[in-house]
Amino acid sequence: MSTLLAMAEKLEQTGIGTAIAEGRYAFPVIEGIHLIGLSMAVGLILLIDLRLLGAFLPDVSVKALHRQLQPYVFAGFAIVILAGVLLFVCEASVVIVSPPWPFKMFFLVLGGANALYFEFITSRRPEALPDHGPLPGNVRYAGFASFALWVLVIVCGRLIPYIPHWA
């Protein structure tokens, strides 16, 4: 842990880390961009999840929604991850000791794995995404898992400043 902390402190002292920390508005601006990227990437994923669950745009083809939104989901992720890395670089030693942070990373990995599994396995099965009628159970389950995991990522992320240390 102490080596991790030393590495984190070194990261903060890099040019990028100190530049963000010293600029008066750099930090909130990057936080704002993190939130906008999040609304695009995770926001659109949550819309697709709600469609898989049958709660949103029931008349729109799941296949079209899923395929056409993909580039914008990726664009959103590029923004949210870039901003997130910058925030991490300038506050690494504070963030890594915050209990919600490892949970956020854990749910992030699970959310990513769930999305990849859906992309390459579940959605490629024949009849996985019919244009009309109810979706197969495993597709709805994937939508539910995705929704829950991304909600947990956001909850844990927002808790970082509120739970700075383990008890």
| Short-list 108, 142, 110, CA closest to 125 | 142
User: Should residue 81 be labelled a site residue for another protein when binding is judged by CB under 8 A?
Assistant: no
Please state, in angstroms and rounded to a whole number, the distance separating the CA atoms of residues 167 and 163.
Answer: 9
> DSSP states of 57-89 as a string?
-TTS-HHHHHHHHHHHHHHHHHHHHHHHHHHHH
What's the closest the beta carbon of residue 7 comes to another protein, in angstroms?
27
Applying the rule CB under 8 A, the residues between 33 and 52 that interact with another protein are 35-36, 38-40, 42-44, 46-47, 50
CA atoms within 13 A on the CB side of 28: 2
- Would you say 17 or 76 has its CB closer to another protein? 76
What's the closest the beta carbon of residue 60 comes to another protein, in angstroms?
6
Interface segment toward another protein; rule CB under 8 A; list 3-11, 24-32, 127-135, 141-149: 24-32
Q: Which residues contact 72 (CB under 8 A, 6 or more apart)?
A: 40, 44
Q: Contacting another protein (CB under 8 A), which of 21, 53, 69, 145? A: 69
Interaction pattern, residues 99-118, with another protein; x per rule: CB under 8 A: --------------------
Applying the rule CB under 8 A, the residues between 121 and 160 that interact with another protein are 151, 154-155, 158-159
Which H/E stretch holds residue 128? none
- Spell 15-40 as b/e; 16+ CB within 10 A means b: eebeebeeeeeebeebeebbeebbeb
Q: Contacting another protein (CB under 8 A), which of 13, 14, 18, 68? A: 68
Distance, first Cα to last Cα, the chain = 17
- Which residues are near another protein by CB under 8 A? 24-25, 27-29, 31-32, 35-36, 38-40, 42-44, 46-47, 50, 56-57, 59-60, 64-65, 68-69, 72, 151, 154-155, 158-159, 162-163
